Each structure stands twice: as structure tokens, then as C-alpha cells.
Amino acid sequence: MSTGRQDRESLYTEVYRTWARPLYYYIRRYAVSHEDTEDILQETLLRAYRSID
């Protein structure tokens, strides 16, 4: 595994640990179900991660 890939994975892990819980509760106020909330959260974090690079 290259250092660049490790750095990106570490960055994603850091973003996830920092934002997953607060975003989950924020999204949950508007989403109908837990599953919808999880889907929206995953898409949101993935888009944030992709936009960093």
C-alpha cells in the first residue's frame, strides 16, 4: 500500500470519527428511517472525502 493511499485512508477515518455522529443526528431529524439516515450519511461523508483532494 502506498503512503498516499494510507494518508487518504487516515484522512477518511479522521473525517468519519469527527463528523459521523453529529451528522447522523442532524440528518435523522429530517430522514424517515434509520436506513435512510445511514444512506444519506454515507453519501455525505463520501462526497466530503472526495472534495478534499
Extents of the domains making up the chain: 9-52
Q: Give which of 41, 37, 48, 53 is closest to 15, Cα–Cα.
A: 48
pTM for the full predicted model: 0.77
Residues 24, 29: Cα–Cα separation, whole Å: 9
6-46 pLDDT, tens digit each: 787 888 888 899 999 999 999 999 999 999 999 999 999 98
